[in-house]
Amino acid sequence: MTTWLAVAAGGALGALSRYLLSGWLTGWLGKGFPWGTFGVNLLGCCLIGAFYVWLTQELRLAPVWQAVLVAGFTGAFTTFSTFALETLTLFESGRGLVAALYVSASLVLGVAGVALGMKLARVLL
């Protein structure tokens, strides 16, 4: 039961953080590209890489922290379903090139973000 509560608490913070940051990015950079989801997902990739290193390799924290930070916070912070919807909406509106750029950049920069997060976590500890 403790793990469930940890995931729920982390998830609540992650969802709220996603909502606030995504809205801010969209307001700042405009609605011509799904900047909010893109930025949140890339930051989430960096965070999950850092959390993985800190939790499993460096700090070796109790498994409940993995539930809070990885499954809870990062799982709720990032959003694949919104990414998929935005991609399809771009295609349907005749912006196939922008949709392809969004998918490609999300994939390449997402994997690079995980690697960057892991590297930064190792350097910072």
For 59, which DSSP code? S
Q: Where are the beta strands (DSSP E) in 11-60?
A: none
Q: What are phi and psi of 95, to 5 degrees?
A: -110, 55
First to last CA, the chain: 31
Residue type (1 letter), 6: A
Is 78 flagged in the annotation as binding?
yes
d(CA 85, CA 54): 33
**Side-chain-facing half-sphere of 26: CA atoms under 13 Å:** 12
Is 75 flagged in the annotation as binding?
yes
Residue type (1 letter), 99: A
Closest CA to 83 of 30, 36, 19, 46: 36
Output the known binding site for Na(+): 75, 78
Output the known binding site: 75, 78
